[in-house]
Amino acid sequence: MLKFEIHHLKQCSSTNEEAKKWPPYHAVIAETQTAGKGRNGRKWESFSGNLFLSLTLPLPSNASVYSFIAALAVAETLGFLSPRIKWPNDVLIDNKKISGILLETTDQKLIIGIGVNIEKKPETQVLYQTTCLKDHNATLPAEELANKILQNLSFEINLFEQKGFSAIKRQWLEYATSIGSRIKVHLPKETLEGIFEGLDDTGALILKQDTTIKYITAGDIFMI
């Protein structure tokens, strides 16, 4: 199993930026961030008491797979709340986002940033409805939550290395939301509608439109 050397910070701009300073198998936890970020440059609200965690790994040839691995690690950690995963890596409780994941690559490293709303959620208008552990009468110290996520992540990486993406895909689909349902996919230049049929062997979303099948590798999905 992988072991991570953990660095604790009171405050930083973002844990992903701090993690870039460290070699593989290091993790950074901060009590708060001044410039947290999500996918596509979106701001990540960083409230004290929530989890802000980033870790480093050697850069793999198939980095996108680790988006699914990280989502699984978070979902398994929050299993007592019956979480679901919205493609590719947002973790939901009661169809509201509780965790987001951001992957970055630099200097032959993969950086995985994980945020979990523990004590507070954003109150301003965001892309998706949000929730936090406190809303569900649950709470965990951020450090304890981080340790559990890192343990589950280590297990899933080991599984992937032994059995390949098919094993990760099978588990991910057990947590997936909207499989078999009609969804909208917002892409940079268009919005598509169709039935979410599942994942292909690379993790792309399979979208069925009447007699046409499209494979989506990036985009924001919304349930209809």
User: Tens digits of per-residue pLDDT, 137-187?
Assistant: 998 899 999 999 999 999 999 999 999 999 999 999 999 999 999 999 999
What per-residue confidence (pLDDT) applies to 13?
86
User: Tens digits of per-residue pLDDT, 95-134?
Assistant: 999 999 999 998 899 999 999 999 998 876 567 889 999 9
In this predicted structure, the answer to whether residue 45 has a pLDDT above a threshold of 60 is yes
- Give the global pTM: 0.92
Count the neighbouring beta carbons within 10 Å of the beta carbon of residue 85: 23
What per-residue confidence (pLDDT) applies to 37?
62
Tell me how many domains the chain contains. Answer: 2
* Alpha carbon of residue 44 to chain centroid: 13
User: Does residue 142 share a domain with residue 191?
Assistant: no
User: Does residue 118 share a domain with residue 23?
Assistant: yes
| DSSP, residue by residue, 78-133 | TGGG--EEETTTEEEETTEEEEEEEEEEETTEEEEEEEE-SS----S--SS-B--G
User: Does residue 157 share a domain with residue 216?
Assistant: no
CA atoms of 143 and 116, how far apart (whole Å): 12
User: Does residue 186 share a domain with residue 156?
Assistant: no
What per-residue confidence (pLDDT) applies to 154?
97
CATH code (residue 53): 3.30.930.10
CATH code (residue 191): 2.30.30.100
Strands of 182-186's sheet, edge to edge? 212-216, 205-209, 191-199, 182-186, 220-223
CA atoms of 118 and 148, how far apart (whole Å): 14
Q: Which residues of 133-162 are buried (b: 16+ CB within 10 A; e: fewer)?
A: bebbeeebebeebbbbbbbbbbbbbeebee
Mean pLDDT, rounded, of the chain = 92
User: Does residue 193 share a domain with residue 151?
Assistant: no
Residue 97, domain extent: 5-175
User: Does residue 208 share a domain with residue 140?
Assistant: no
User: Does residue 207 share a domain with residue 165?
Assistant: no
147 phi and psi, to 5 degrees?
-60, -40
User: Tens digits of per-residue pLDDT, 2-18?
Assistant: 999 999 999 988 999 99
User: Does residue 51 share a domain with residue 149?
Assistant: yes
